[in-house]
Amino acid sequence: MPDTAHERIRAAIAAVPAGRVASYGDIAAAAGAGSPRYVGWVLREDGQDLPWHRVLRADGTAAPHLAERQWELLAQEGVPAPGGRVRMDQWRWAPEHTPDDDA
DNA sequence: AGGCTGACGCGGC
DNA sequence: CGCCGCGCCAGCC
């Protein structure tokens, strides 16, 4: 189990299966990052080798400069983004149990 | 040391 | 539907 939030975030993103998506907030929560911004920071620095295209905003939209690329990659996994927006209520990756099962 | 920014999220107007 | 501010963590100026 990674010590730094940086690694936990990378692990959380890598844990998202193909054909499913997760929001920055989901990743942050699953990794215990505390802030969704931290997720974006990690992806910018160390996300080139991660399935970053499976990470979307909470409302199902994507970052402007990556959107075109993101929809393309997601489409290849079978995730459609009609109107530049993925149906989070349908494609959002649902963890089977609570992430921080420390208790 | 202080202040701004960013692949965000949410409430308020 | 849009714009606004605040909180969040870390980095950069």
Residue A95 binned pLDDT confidence (cut-offs 50, 70, 90)? low
pLDDT of residue A75: 96
pTM of the model: 0.88
Q: What is the pLDDT of residues A54-88, one digit of tens each?
A: 999 999 999 988 999 999 999 999 999 999 999 99
Distance in Å from B8's C1' to A89's CA comes to 19
Tell me the CA–C1' distance in angstroms for A82 and C12.
37
Whether A55 and A21 have beta carbons less than 8 Å apart is answered as yes
CA distance A9 to A24: 10
Please identify residues in chain A, positions 38-77, with a C-beta within 7 angstroms of any atom of strand C. 38, 41
What are the beta bridge partners of residue A55? A22
Output the distance from A59 CA to B11 C1' rounded to whole Å: 15
Q: Is A22 helix (H, G, I), strand (E, B) or coil?
A: strand
**End-to-end alpha-carbon separation of chain A, Å?**
16
Q: How far apart are CA A85 and CA A102, in angstroms?
A: 34
The SS3 call for residue A55 is strand
Residue nearest to nucleotide C11 (CA to C1'): A41
Question: Which pLDDT tens digit goes with each residue over A3-25?
Answer: 788 899 999 999 999 999 999 99
Please report which confidence band the pLDDT of residue A96 belongs to, taking 50, 70 and 90 as the band edges.
low
Closest CA to A9 of A45, A58, A57: A45
Determine if strand C comes within 7 Å of the CB of A5. Answer: yes
